Structure 1
Amino acid sequence: MGDKLLEEQVQHLIRKERGIDDFNVVFRERGFSSTLDQLNKSDAVILPAFAIREPIHPNTYRLTENLDDIEPPIIPMASNWTHYPGDKLGNEIHEYQPETVRFLQRLANQPELDGFTTRDLYTKRILERHGFDARLVGDLGWYHDDYLGHDMRVPESIDHIVMTTPHNSHYVEQAKEVMDMLVEEYPDATHTCSFHSVLSDSDKRLRTLAEDRGFEIVLASHDTSNLEFYDNCDLHVGYRLHGHISFLRRRLPSVLVGEDGRGNGFNATLGTAGFPATRRRLGPRPAEIVQSFGQTLPGKGLRKVVQKTGWSPRPYRELIAPPDPTVPEKIRQFLQQEQTNGFESYEAVPELFDETYKNTMKPFLESLP
């Protein structure tokens, strides 16, 4: 669902500010070597929600073997740093591989690109630390035409709560505790568990746990119209970044449990309503060794076997930073405080979204080829 929202938003924003309505949308792992003539007829190659995920080329972005064969400018948009556990320490010390830096330099050296745009502060900081110019334009999903310029919609009472589920299976127990906390704290509310992607094995377990606790189930993947019911809800608590954003863009309160650098980077940008899912166990150097070893293990086949045993498909992650068991209680205390003070900590959210659009996102869109 997050990808679908971003796909629609990037077209909407370019159409809104530039009047352009001719898009050819392809998955980032598709190669263009055999269709180079078609690609070179484009005005630009846009990489929305630019994932700086290593190895980046040609793995995350296939494009072409020789990037110089691509004639239009390659424009990354709202870049994001993807890393586990993606905490503040990791953001301050992580070093990109030389191949990644060379790829980023290739993009940065284009005359059409005036530095990188980022969706969060963590991405901005790590790019600047590697010598690149970067500015915050926010997540593409921040911007909802119906609510730009509006204040937060503070609920008088919490009558309908939506919870979204984690990507990673090792958070199942923590997510179960979050469910229990929400039922205890809001026993008279309607509780809905919203699944933003096709159900994984861990999602199927979470669906059963949610049903056992009286949650209504919504399968919300594939079509952003499936999220329209959020307009009539009061609160989101969960793990999906674009579940969190889907509420905030409607000026509704939300709490995000950050699974990795994407969620934690957003929480650092917002400055409120976010909690890291993990508690770091290993320091940077041991963590790097464990992660490097873990990534040399065989791929999806072995992961599926491991996952069916109930273990994480990436067990090395739990060695580095296991789930923090105190997260449900932290969320409870935060929500109690917010209800007491009228959700005061959210007051700066609309201003952040509106000012970012006016000062950086809109000028960036207007600068596109």
Structure 2
Amino acid sequence: MKYVLVSTYPKEGTQNIGDKLIEMSTADAIRSFDPTAEISTVWRAEDWATVKDTIADADHLIFACLAIRRNMHTIYPYLHHILGSGVPVSVIAAGTNLQIASPDMFKRGFTAADLDLLKRLSEAAEVFTTRGVLSQAFCDEQGYAGARFSGDVAFLDSRYDGWTFSRTERIERIAISDPHHGEVYVPVFRTLVTVLRKLFPQARIDCALHGVNPAIEAICSGIGVAVHPIYLEPETGLDIYEKYDLHAGFRVHGHVSALKRRIPSYLLEQDGRGADYGATLSRKITVPCYRAAQPAAEPRAVAVQAYQALIARLVRPTPRSVGPAKAKRFSAPSAAATFLGALIAQDAREGFSRFDGLEADIMSFNNRTRAAIKQVCAGRSTP
């Protein structure tokens, strides 16, 4: 069988290692049911001319964690070609990034064209699963009758089947996963490091970079936090989490990578993706930390700020990597890191018993995902 995975992993740009994990987990799951499978991968936003022959030659095409976003024609510019190709398609662990502050979050930002394209895909898909309860709710709201909740395919890893969470009495090594929009989240990141250092003064604290993030690299250098650019090793970089006793950070796939290794993990929800995981897992181990637009300033205040910024640049140039303009347009609540610290402090007193039995959630996700991929393989594995 020839399978083609439509991947969200960008080899250039941000190089988000979490997207590579999704791709690899899906391919490994296929091979567990079809050991002789031929698996090719195409990037979601590639030129159609580049991928059309690969797709035409496929027996089955799988969207690995379909990114349900506004402007779907931009996110997946050749999706309409796929739907017209006649190649069988499936969707594994689709995920949303909803505008959760909006009362109409299941519709806000999506155009009629977006929803029509998604509906056509849902009707064409032989299997369609979602990775979170908010993503499933979106599909239910839109009437995608075939969509079924499974959990994130990235939890799949046979190395950890049967592992359980155990009481953690001493924290010696802590990993912080870096935030998206690092230039906006520098104050939150700094506060999180301060909180963790106060709670665990003897612990080593490192930052795992899941993608290109110059603003966070700069702040880590200034506050003495070692940086590990794990995105430079996309196939093995996430194994770094095996070295730590605790994860607290911003990346959903840092959260996933720690939890599936049965390491206590806490997530600061940056957006609808983080909110999806917070709503899906059965324990309170996430805290909202959403960025918001700064309120508009009075014209005189704007003029004063511009003058002050000019003087500051003349006296001490601001590093281009920090992105000061973007940081001024948005803010994120540093108090969220303090809130998270309170949660971690209480759990530390109790040996992190909050995580006792949480492996049941993970195995449930994995069983659902394996069943979905088995259905894909079984339906097309014989002539």
Q: Smaller-chain TM-score range?
A: 0.7 to 0.9
Instruction: Kindly report which structure 2 residues correspond to 1:256-295, keeping only aligned pairs within 5 A, or say none.
Output: 256-270=267-281, 271-278=283-290
- Structure 2 CA distance for aligned equivalents of residues 191 and 205 of structure 1: 16
Shift of 1:280: 6.7
Shift of 1:260: 0.8
1:220 to 209, 224, 230: 230
The letter for the 2-side match of 1:78 is: A
CA contact under 8 A between 2:270 and 2:289: conserved in structure 1? yes
Structure 2 residue aligned with 1:52: 68
TM-score, reference length from structure 1: 0.82
Whether the aligned pair in 1 keeps the contact of 2:80 and 2:117 (CA below 8 Å) is no
Distance of aligned partners of 1:334 and 1:33 in 2 relative to their CA distance in 1, 3 Å threshold? same
Instruction: Judge conservation of contact 1:56–1:100 (CA < 8 Å) in 2.
Output: yes
3-state SS, counterpart of residue 158 of structure 2: coil
Q: Does 1:237 align with 2:248?
A: yes
Query: Relative to structure 2, which stretch is displaced further, 132-141 or 234-243?
Result: 132-141
CA positional deviation for 1:281: 8.2
Distance 2:195 2:274 in 1: 21
Relative to structure 1, the CA distance from residue 105 to residue 93 in structure 2 (aligned partners, 3 Å threshold; closer, same or farther) is closer
Aligned pair partner of 1:122 in 114, 127, 134: 134
Distance 1:20 1:132, change over 3 A: farther
- Structure 1 segment 242-257 matched on structure 2, within 5 A: 242-257=253-268
Q: Which of 175, 178, 182 is 2:189 aligned to?
A: 175
Cα deviation code 1:231-286 (max 9, x no counterpart): 1310001111111111001011011111111111111111421011127789xxxx
Q: TM-score, normalised by structure 2?
A: 0.80
Report the aligned-residue RMSD: 2.5
In structure 2, what is the equivalent of residue 99 of structure 1? Answer: 113
CA separation of 1:106/1:140 partners in 2, compared to 1, >3 Å: closer, same or farther?
Answer: same
SS at match of 2:120: helix
SS at match of 1:166: coil
Aligned to 1:327: 336
Higher Rg: 2
CA distance in 1, matches of 2:347, 2:220: 28
- Paired residues, what number? 333
Determine if contact 1:256/1:274 at 8 Å carries over to the other structure. yes
Partner residue, 2:163: 150
What is the 5 A alignment of 1:290-301? none
Q: Report percent identity of matched pairs.
A: 23
Q: Which runs of 4+ in 1 moved over 6 A?
A: 279-282
Aligned to 2:92: 77
Structure 2 runs not aligned, ≥5 long:
1-16, 295-318
Contact 2:215 2:322 in 1 (8 A): no
List alignment gaps of at least 5 residues for structure 1.
283-304
Counterpart-to-counterpart distance in 1, 2:50 and 2:192? 49
What SS does the aligned partner of 1:79 have?
strand
CA shift for structure 1 position 230? 1.8
Cα separation, partners in 2 of 1:8 and 1:171, compared to 1, 3 Å:
same
What amino acid maps onto 2:265 in structure 1? S
